[in-house]
Structure 1
Amino acid sequence: MNKTMMKNTLMEALGMEVLTADPTKVEIRMPVDHRTHQPMGFLHGGASVALAESAASIGAFLNIDPAKQQVFGVEINANHIKSARDGYVKGTATPAHIGKNTMVWEIQIVNEADELVCLSRCTVGVVPLKK
Protein backbone atom coordinates (compact mmCIF):
# COMPACT_ATOMS: atom_id res chain seq x y z
CA MET A 1 0.00 0.00 0.00
CA ASN A 2 1.10 3.52 -0.69
CA LYS A 3 2.23 5.18 2.57
CA THR A 4 0.56 8.44 1.55
CA MET A 5 -2.79 6.61 1.59
CA MET A 6 -2.25 6.01 5.34
CA LYS A 7 -1.74 9.69 6.17
CA ASN A 8 -4.37 11.19 8.46
CA THR A 9 -6.14 7.87 8.99
CA LEU A 10 -6.99 5.72 12.00
CA MET A 11 -4.21 3.39 10.91
CA GLU A 12 -1.66 6.19 11.24
CA ALA A 13 -3.09 7.34 14.58
CA LEU A 14 -2.76 3.82 16.02
CA GLY A 15 0.76 3.35 14.62
CA MET A 16 -0.10 0.55 12.20
CA GLU A 17 2.48 -0.53 9.66
CA VAL A 18 1.63 -2.63 6.61
CA LEU A 19 4.17 -5.45 6.28
CA THR A 20 2.62 -7.44 3.42
CA ALA A 21 -0.17 -6.46 1.07
CA ASP A 22 -1.27 -8.70 -1.76
CA PRO A 23 -4.63 -10.09 -2.89
CA THR A 24 -4.27 -13.29 -0.83
CA LYS A 25 -2.56 -12.06 2.34
CA VAL A 26 -2.26 -8.82 4.28
CA GLU A 27 -0.08 -8.44 7.38
CA ILE A 28 -0.17 -5.36 9.58
CA ARG A 29 1.86 -4.68 12.71
CA MET A 30 0.50 -2.46 15.48
CA PRO A 31 2.16 -1.28 18.71
CA VAL A 32 0.63 -2.08 22.07
CA ASP A 33 1.17 1.28 23.76
CA HIS A 34 -0.63 4.40 24.98
CA ARG A 35 -2.43 4.73 21.62
CA THR A 36 -3.92 1.23 21.75
CA HIS A 37 -4.37 0.63 25.49
CA GLN A 38 -7.64 0.59 27.35
CA PRO A 39 -7.69 2.42 30.74
CA MET A 40 -6.35 -0.61 32.66
CA GLY A 41 -3.21 -0.77 30.50
CA PHE A 42 -4.06 -3.71 28.23
CA LEU A 43 -4.57 -3.83 24.47
CA HIS A 44 -8.02 -2.38 23.76
CA GLY A 45 -10.36 -4.82 22.00
CA GLY A 46 -11.43 -1.98 19.71
CA ALA A 47 -7.83 -1.50 18.59
CA SER A 48 -7.69 -5.20 17.68
CA VAL A 49 -10.91 -4.82 15.69
CA ALA A 50 -9.51 -1.74 13.95
CA LEU A 51 -6.41 -3.75 13.01
CA ALA A 52 -8.53 -6.64 11.75
CA GLU A 53 -10.85 -4.48 9.64
CA SER A 54 -7.92 -2.51 8.24
CA ALA A 55 -6.20 -5.70 7.08
CA ALA A 56 -9.41 -7.12 5.58
CA SER A 57 -10.23 -3.85 3.82
CA ILE A 58 -6.78 -3.56 2.27
CA GLY A 59 -6.99 -7.16 1.09
CA ALA A 60 -10.43 -6.59 -0.37
CA PHE A 61 -9.29 -3.40 -2.10
CA LEU A 62 -6.48 -5.35 -3.76
CA ASN A 63 -9.09 -7.69 -5.27
CA ILE A 64 -11.20 -5.05 -7.04
CA ASP A 65 -10.87 -2.58 -9.89
CA PRO A 66 -10.74 0.74 -7.98
CA ALA A 67 -11.77 2.62 -11.12
CA LYS A 68 -15.11 0.78 -11.03
CA GLN A 69 -15.63 -0.38 -7.43
CA GLN A 70 -15.06 0.46 -3.78
CA VAL A 71 -15.11 -1.71 -0.66
CA PHE A 72 -16.74 -1.14 2.73
CA GLY A 73 -16.85 -3.21 5.89
CA VAL A 74 -20.29 -4.75 6.37
CA GLU A 75 -19.80 -6.91 9.48
CA ILE A 76 -16.96 -7.83 11.79
CA ASN A 77 -16.67 -10.11 14.78
CA ALA A 78 -13.77 -10.67 17.11
CA ASN A 79 -12.95 -13.21 19.78
CA HIS A 80 -10.39 -11.79 22.19
CA ILE A 81 -8.32 -14.77 23.31
CA LYS A 82 -5.33 -13.34 25.17
CA SER A 83 -4.35 -9.95 26.54
CA ALA A 84 -1.25 -7.89 25.75
CA ARG A 85 0.37 -5.01 27.64
CA ASP A 86 3.28 -3.98 25.43
CA GLY A 87 5.31 -4.82 22.36
CA TYR A 88 3.60 -5.37 19.03
CA VAL A 89 0.77 -7.45 17.67
CA LYS A 90 0.53 -8.60 14.07
CA GLY A 91 -2.68 -9.16 12.17
CA THR A 92 -2.71 -11.54 9.21
CA ALA A 93 -5.76 -11.47 6.95
CA THR A 94 -6.52 -14.18 4.40
CA PRO A 95 -9.60 -14.50 2.21
CA ALA A 96 -12.16 -17.18 3.00
CA HIS A 97 -14.40 -16.02 0.13
CA ILE A 98 -13.85 -13.61 -2.77
CA GLY A 99 -17.13 -12.91 -4.55
CA LYS A 100 -18.52 -10.29 -6.91
CA ASN A 101 -20.51 -8.49 -4.22
CA THR A 102 -18.99 -9.62 -0.93
CA MET A 103 -15.76 -10.94 0.47
CA VAL A 104 -15.10 -12.67 3.78
CA TRP A 105 -11.69 -12.35 5.40
CA GLU A 106 -10.28 -14.25 8.38
CA ILE A 107 -7.84 -12.33 10.55
CA GLN A 108 -5.54 -13.79 13.17
CA ILE A 109 -3.82 -11.36 15.53
CA VAL A 110 -0.79 -12.71 17.37
CA ASN A 111 1.69 -11.28 19.88
CA GLU A 112 5.47 -11.30 19.49
CA ALA A 113 5.60 -14.86 20.90
CA ASP A 114 3.23 -15.89 18.05
CA GLU A 115 0.42 -16.55 20.57
CA LEU A 116 -3.13 -15.95 19.37
CA VAL A 117 -4.50 -12.70 20.83
CA CYS A 118 -7.61 -12.25 18.69
CA LEU A 119 -9.47 -14.19 16.02
CA SER A 120 -11.70 -12.12 13.75
CA ARG A 121 -13.82 -12.48 10.64
CA CYS A 122 -14.79 -9.50 8.49
CA THR A 123 -17.35 -9.34 5.70
CA VAL A 124 -16.60 -6.65 3.11
CA GLY A 125 -19.10 -5.34 0.59
CA VAL A 126 -18.04 -4.57 -2.97
CA VAL A 127 -19.91 -1.53 -4.25
CA PRO A 128 -19.92 -0.17 -7.80
CA LEU A 129 -18.84 3.47 -8.09
CA LYS A 130 -21.58 5.84 -9.21
CA LYS A 131 -20.96 7.42 -12.58
Structure 2
Amino acid sequence: MMDNFTPNPFVDELNEAGVPEEFHEWLSAHGVGALVVKLGIRFTEMSAERMVATMPVVGNTQVAGILHGGAHVVLAETLGSFAASLHAGRGRHAVGIEVGATHHRSVASGLVTGTCTAIHLGGTLATHEIVITDDKGRRLSTARITNMIRDNRH
Protein backbone atom coordinates (compact mmCIF):
# COMPACT_ATOMS: atom_id res chain seq x y z
CA MET A 1 0.00 0.00 0.00
CA MET A 2 1.31 3.42 -0.94
CA ASP A 3 1.25 6.39 1.40
CA ASN A 4 1.59 10.07 0.55
CA PHE A 5 5.28 10.05 1.52
CA THR A 6 6.59 7.08 -0.47
CA PRO A 7 7.13 7.87 -4.15
CA ASN A 8 5.88 5.35 -6.67
CA PRO A 9 8.97 4.31 -8.68
CA PHE A 10 6.74 3.34 -11.60
CA VAL A 11 4.68 6.53 -11.87
CA ASP A 12 6.22 7.56 -15.21
CA GLU A 13 5.79 4.05 -16.62
CA LEU A 14 2.16 3.91 -15.50
CA ASN A 15 1.41 7.34 -16.99
CA GLU A 16 3.13 6.45 -20.27
CA ALA A 17 1.05 3.25 -20.47
CA GLY A 18 -2.16 5.25 -19.99
CA VAL A 19 -3.01 3.71 -16.61
CA PRO A 20 -5.56 5.91 -14.82
CA GLU A 21 -4.30 7.32 -11.53
CA GLU A 22 -6.95 5.38 -9.60
CA PHE A 23 -5.02 2.17 -10.49
CA HIS A 24 -1.50 3.42 -9.66
CA GLU A 25 -1.55 2.04 -6.12
CA TRP A 26 -2.59 -1.37 -7.43
CA LEU A 27 0.39 -1.44 -9.84
CA SER A 28 2.87 0.42 -7.63
CA ALA A 29 4.95 -2.65 -6.71
CA HIS A 30 5.71 -3.84 -10.26
CA GLY A 31 4.46 -1.31 -12.81
CA VAL A 32 2.88 -2.66 -15.99
CA GLY A 33 5.73 -5.07 -16.72
CA ALA A 34 8.81 -4.88 -18.93
CA LEU A 35 7.19 -6.62 -21.91
CA VAL A 36 4.20 -4.26 -21.89
CA VAL A 37 6.66 -1.35 -21.98
CA LYS A 38 8.78 -2.93 -24.76
CA LEU A 39 5.75 -3.60 -26.98
CA GLY A 40 4.37 -0.07 -26.48
CA ILE A 41 1.02 -1.20 -25.08
CA ARG A 42 -1.12 1.73 -23.95
CA PHE A 43 -4.35 1.31 -21.99
CA THR A 44 -7.42 3.37 -22.86
CA GLU A 45 -10.05 1.65 -20.66
CA MET A 46 -9.60 -0.42 -17.50
CA SER A 47 -12.20 -2.46 -15.66
CA ALA A 48 -12.77 -6.12 -14.86
CA GLU A 49 -15.62 -6.27 -17.38
CA ARG A 50 -13.94 -4.40 -20.25
CA MET A 51 -10.35 -3.43 -20.88
CA VAL A 52 -8.98 -1.77 -24.02
CA ALA A 53 -5.40 -1.07 -25.10
CA THR A 54 -3.49 -0.19 -28.25
CA MET A 55 -0.14 -1.40 -29.53
CA PRO A 56 1.95 -0.19 -32.48
CA VAL A 57 2.77 -2.62 -35.26
CA VAL A 58 6.19 -1.03 -35.82
CA GLY A 59 8.73 -2.69 -33.57
CA ASN A 60 6.53 -5.74 -33.02
CA THR A 61 6.82 -7.46 -36.39
CA GLN A 62 8.15 -10.83 -37.45
CA VAL A 63 10.60 -11.47 -40.29
CA ALA A 64 7.87 -11.15 -42.97
CA GLY A 65 7.17 -7.57 -41.84
CA ILE A 66 3.76 -8.25 -40.28
CA LEU A 67 2.68 -8.06 -36.64
CA HIS A 68 4.12 -11.07 -34.85
CA GLY A 69 1.51 -13.63 -33.75
CA GLY A 70 3.15 -13.69 -30.34
CA ALA A 71 2.62 -9.94 -30.03
CA HIS A 72 -1.11 -10.54 -30.60
CA VAL A 73 -1.08 -13.07 -27.75
CA VAL A 74 0.94 -10.81 -25.43
CA LEU A 75 -1.57 -7.99 -25.94
CA ALA A 76 -4.47 -10.40 -25.34
CA GLU A 77 -2.92 -11.98 -22.25
CA THR A 78 -2.01 -8.58 -20.82
CA LEU A 79 -5.59 -7.35 -21.16
CA GLY A 80 -7.18 -10.54 -19.82
CA SER A 81 -4.78 -10.86 -16.90
CA PHE A 82 -5.10 -7.22 -15.86
CA ALA A 83 -8.92 -7.46 -16.07
CA ALA A 84 -8.94 -10.68 -14.03
CA SER A 85 -6.65 -9.08 -11.45
CA LEU A 86 -9.03 -6.16 -11.07
CA HIS A 87 -11.88 -8.65 -10.64
CA ALA A 88 -9.89 -10.56 -7.99
CA GLY A 89 -9.63 -7.45 -5.82
CA ARG A 90 -7.60 -6.78 -2.69
CA GLY A 91 -6.03 -9.79 -1.01
CA ARG A 92 -6.40 -11.95 -4.12
CA HIS A 93 -4.58 -12.33 -7.43
CA ALA A 94 -5.12 -13.86 -10.86
CA VAL A 95 -2.98 -16.61 -12.37
CA GLY A 96 -3.31 -17.43 -16.05
CA ILE A 97 -4.11 -21.09 -16.66
CA GLU A 98 -5.10 -21.10 -20.35
CA VAL A 99 -4.72 -18.81 -23.35
CA GLY A 100 -5.43 -19.44 -27.00
CA ALA A 101 -5.70 -17.32 -30.12
CA THR A 102 -6.90 -17.55 -33.70
CA HIS A 103 -5.28 -15.22 -36.23
CA HIS A 104 -7.69 -14.07 -38.95
CA ARG A 105 -5.64 -11.58 -40.99
CA SER A 106 -2.26 -9.86 -40.93
CA VAL A 107 -1.30 -6.22 -40.54
CA ALA A 108 1.97 -4.51 -41.51
CA SER A 109 1.55 -0.97 -40.16
CA GLY A 110 -0.48 1.26 -37.89
CA LEU A 111 -1.89 0.71 -34.46
CA VAL A 112 -3.83 -2.34 -33.31
CA THR A 113 -6.50 -2.23 -30.62
CA GLY A 114 -7.29 -5.04 -28.21
CA THR A 115 -10.75 -5.07 -26.64
CA CYS A 116 -11.15 -7.46 -23.73
CA THR A 117 -14.65 -8.46 -22.62
CA ALA A 118 -15.55 -10.61 -19.63
CA ILE A 119 -17.21 -13.93 -20.43
CA HIS A 120 -17.27 -15.22 -16.83
CA LEU A 121 -16.28 -13.47 -13.58
CA GLY A 122 -16.52 -16.06 -10.83
CA GLY A 123 -15.05 -16.59 -7.41
CA THR A 124 -12.31 -18.95 -8.63
CA LEU A 125 -12.15 -18.42 -12.40
CA ALA A 126 -12.32 -15.43 -14.73
CA THR A 127 -12.55 -15.86 -18.50
CA HIS A 128 -12.19 -13.06 -21.04
CA GLU A 129 -12.41 -12.80 -24.82
CA ILE A 130 -10.03 -10.42 -26.54
CA VAL A 131 -10.63 -9.14 -30.07
CA ILE A 132 -7.72 -7.40 -31.78
CA THR A 133 -8.52 -5.05 -34.66
CA ASP A 134 -6.58 -2.82 -37.04
CA ASP A 135 -6.96 0.92 -37.69
CA LYS A 136 -9.91 0.18 -40.00
CA GLY A 137 -11.74 -1.91 -37.39
CA ARG A 138 -11.04 -5.21 -39.15
CA ARG A 139 -10.66 -8.22 -36.85
CA LEU A 140 -7.09 -9.48 -36.83
CA SER A 141 -7.31 -12.09 -34.10
CA THR A 142 -9.57 -13.49 -31.42
CA ALA A 143 -8.16 -14.79 -28.16
CA ARG A 144 -9.54 -16.24 -24.95
CA ILE A 145 -7.84 -16.40 -21.57
CA THR A 146 -8.88 -18.06 -18.33
CA ASN A 147 -7.34 -16.97 -15.04
CA MET A 148 -7.60 -18.74 -11.71
CA ILE A 149 -8.39 -16.41 -8.79
CA ARG A 150 -6.28 -17.17 -5.71
CA ASP A 151 -5.95 -15.70 -2.24
CA ASN A 152 -2.62 -13.99 -1.53
CA ARG A 153 -0.33 -15.89 0.82
CA HIS A 154 0.39 -14.10 4.05
TM-score range, shorter chain: over 0.9
Runs of 4+ in 1 over 3 A off after TM superposition: 1-4
More strand by share: 1
1:59 aligns with 2:83: yes
> What's 1:25 paired with?
50
Decide which of 93, 97, 117 is 1:70's aligned counterpart.
93
> What's 1:115 paired with?
138
Decide which of 46, 69, 89 is 2:70's aligned counterpart.
46
Give SS of 2:88's match: coil
- The TM-score normalised by the length of structure 2 is 0.79
- The TM-score normalised by the length of structure 1 is 0.93
> What's 1:125 paired with?
148
Uncovered stretches (5+) of structure 2, i.e. residues with no partner: 1-18
Measured after TM superposition, the shift of residue 90 of structure 1 is 0.3
Root-mean-square deviation over aligned CA pairs: 1.3
After superposition, what is the alpha-carbon deviation per residue over 1:63-90, rounded to whole angstroms, capped at 9, x for unaligned? 1223x11111111010000100010100
Relative contact order (alpha carbons < 8 A, sep ≥ 6): 1 or 2 greater? 1
> What's 1:98 paired with?
121
1:15 aligns with 2:40: yes
Instruction: Kindly provide the amino acid, as one letter, of the partner of residue 134 in structure 2.
Output: N
C-alpha separation between the residues in 2 aligned to 1:87 and 1:39? 17
**1:75-94 maps to which residues of 2 (within 5 A)?**
75-94=98-117
Uncovered stretches (5+) of structure 1, i.e. residues with no partner: none
Equivalent pairs counted in the alignment come to 128
C-alpha separation between the residues in 1 aligned to 2:73 and 2:84? 16
Q: Percent sequence identity over matched residues?
A: 29
Query: Which of these two proteins has the greater Rg computed from alpha carbons?
Result: 2
Give SS of 1:63's match: helix
Give SS of 1:112's match: coil
